[in-house]
Amino acid sequence: MSPRTNYDSNFCGSLPLHLTNLVQSYGYLLVLDLAGLRIVQLSENSEELFGQPVEKVVGQSFSDYLSPADIANLEEKLASGIREKIPFNFTFGESKREVLALVHLRDDHILAELEPVSPAHKKGFTEVYNEIRYVIAAIDTAETLGQASAIAVRELKKLSGFDKIMMYRFDEEWNGTVIAEIMEEGMEPYMGLTFPASDVPKQARALYLKNPYRLIPDREYTPVRLYPVINPITQSFLDLSDCNLRSVAAVHIEYLRNMKVTASMSTRVIRNGELWGLISCHHREPKYLDQESCSIFELLSDVISSRIDHIIRKEEYDFSNRLQQNYAKLVEYIYSENDFVSGLLKDDVNVMDFLGAGGVAITGRGRTGTLGNVPDAEKIENLVLWLQAKGIDHVYTEANLAAVYDGAADYSAIASGIIVVPIDAEEGHYVIGFRPEVIKDINWGGNPNEAIHFEPGKNNYHPRHSFQVWQERVKDTAIAWSEQEINWAERLRNFIFEYNIKHS
């Protein structure tokens, strides 16, 4: 099978999404200087807010449009030095129009995102608190990743009213697989489908570490320019990396159109400081969520991330505990047998169980001991020669042995993957675990090799039109060894090395 085209790194991942110099039209963006809160740049639709052309607003003080109490509150919180987005509720100008604001403190300027408050969207504190508490309680009942994901999408759908909500989990290559989904009738299901990394390219993933969510209320919006075009403080395009109002790349708008989605929202799932997955919300009609509702999503994103991390950590702890118990048994058997080969191949708990292998071979010193399903003696001998040539001195694993060793294709059914514990490489002394081939069918949401289509000249490109299932069969590949399994195998190697020194 020919390798898939990696649009994520080759093309899509290089586009500067943070320097669009455009914002969406559902809010207003202001840039203020640090000294006097003077307005130095703003989105052109701010004329609606100020009641005068933006050319006249530039140079005025933001203080002229807020009450003394609002300004005092703003200055007090900015003086705290908090770098995160700070929420405010301002009464704006002579019209007394209420706006919600998110204020970012940058090194050399202040960025303020303003959205008008609609009475229809306002909720009381008790109502919001009760909704949040219920969703948190529901998520806390989950004991598996499947349960946590299903509860999360179900409760977020109730809370938000989006037509469809899905949870993606990223793999090691940043492809995203849908692990939970809930939707209205008549929508195309994507449960279990995998979407290529280029659908959420690397620079877009990086922005989710700065922004908890991404809202597009209407894909047909007209992008709003900033005035002036060049930021007078930075003398460059404004960096909109952590700006919720940041405009959307045209290719993503086309992507939503091809999916028959008019409004969308994505919320991050973070684990160990990295993007673990995304919760993606779709709506067939325009749908606006105010800052209050988005803040609820932001909070619940943290709750969901925390629960998923708890579940994974518990699974890892239980697995590590089992490996530790098996390791202790092997050490005990080696001492009782007074021979590490005999100790590793006991019937009760043996090295094959410890390595999670379907077969194991212990080579060197003129003999080869085997257990389970392994290649024949000649093939093991040739494999050992190949390992010696590689000069391996620590635990080595390979899930697709046929890709790196020509002779492995003949026995991929029983040994597509290997884990090698070197004892004495010069003497060809190894403990080798074999894992069988696991034929895997990946159901892609559209052909990943056609994720984008270039126009003649390759200056412009478009996303794929179809998201129908495109199946890829992966062969000659075993289940990869986990980091925990490799670490415990390394401990076993160290023990055997010391044991041999003491008993040589």
The predicted model gives 62-74 an average pLDDT of 92
Give dist(CA 282, CA 309) in Å, integer: 26
C-beta separation of 304 from 139 below 8 A:
yes
298's enclosing H/E stretch is: helix 291-337
What are the tokens at 22?
Answer: 């455009």
Instruction: Confirm whether 7-312 and 338-439+476-502 share one CATH topology.
Output: yes
Q: What are phi and psi of 133, to 5 degrees?
A: -60, -40
C-beta separation of 212 from 300 below 8 A:
no
Reported as a single tens digit per residue, the pLDDT across 102-133 is 999 998 899 999 998 876 656 677 787 888 89
| pLDDT of residue 341 exceeding 90 | no
Q: Is the dihedral of CA 420, 422, 425, 427 positive or negative?
A: negative
| pLDDT of residue 18 exceeding 80 | no
300's enclosing H/E stretch is: helix 291-337
Give dist(CA 357, CA 435) in Å, integer: 5
| Of residues 190 and 503, more confidently modeled | 190
| pLDDT of residue 34 exceeding 70 | yes
Domain ranges of the chain: 7-312, 338-439+476-502
The predicted model gives 461-477 an average pLDDT of 80
Reported as a single tens digit per residue, the pLDDT across 148-177 is 999 999 999 999 999 999 999 999 999 999
What are the tokens at 30?
Answer: 């202001």
C-beta separation of 299 from 132 below 8 A:
yes
pLDDT at position 440 is: 83
Mean pLDDT score of the chain: 90
Q: Is the dihedral of CA 23, 250, 266, 14 positive or negative?
A: negative
**Fold type of domain 338-439+476-502:** Beta-Lactamase (3.30.450)
Provide the CA 151 distance to its chain's centre, in angstroms. 19
| 3-state SS assignment for residue 481 | coil
Give dist(CA 484, CA 487) in Å, integer: 5
Reported as a single tens digit per residue, the pLDDT across 212-270 is 999 999 999 999 999 999 999 989 999 998 899 999 988 899 999 999 999 999 999 99
| Of residues 256 and 10, more confidently modeled | 256
What are the tokens at 415?
Answer: 């040994």
pLDDT at position 12 is: 47
Q: What percent of the chain has pLDDT over 70?
A: 92
pLDDT at position 461 is: 63
Determine which of 43-52, 287-296, 438-447 has the lowest per-residue pLDDT on average. 438-447
pLDDT at position 469 is: 81
pLDDT at position 254 is: 92
pLDDT at position 1 is: 44
| pLDDT of residue 455 exceeding 80 | no
pLDDT at position 447 is: 79
| pLDDT of residue 456 exceeding 50 | yes
pLDDT at position 2 is: 46
Give dist(CA 492, CA 393) in Å, integer: 13
Q: How many other β-carbons are positioned within 10 Å of the β-carbon of residue 470?
A: 18
CATH 3.30.200.20 fits 7-312, yes or no: no
Say which DSSP state 64 is in: G
| pLDDT of residue 367 exceeding 60 | yes
Q: What are phi and psi of 227, to 5 degrees?
A: -125, 130
Q: What percent of the chain has pLDDT over 90?
A: 68
pLDDT at position 279 is: 97
Say which DSSP state 288 is in: -
| pLDDT of residue 7 exceeding 60 | no
| pLDDT of residue 17 exceeding 80 | no
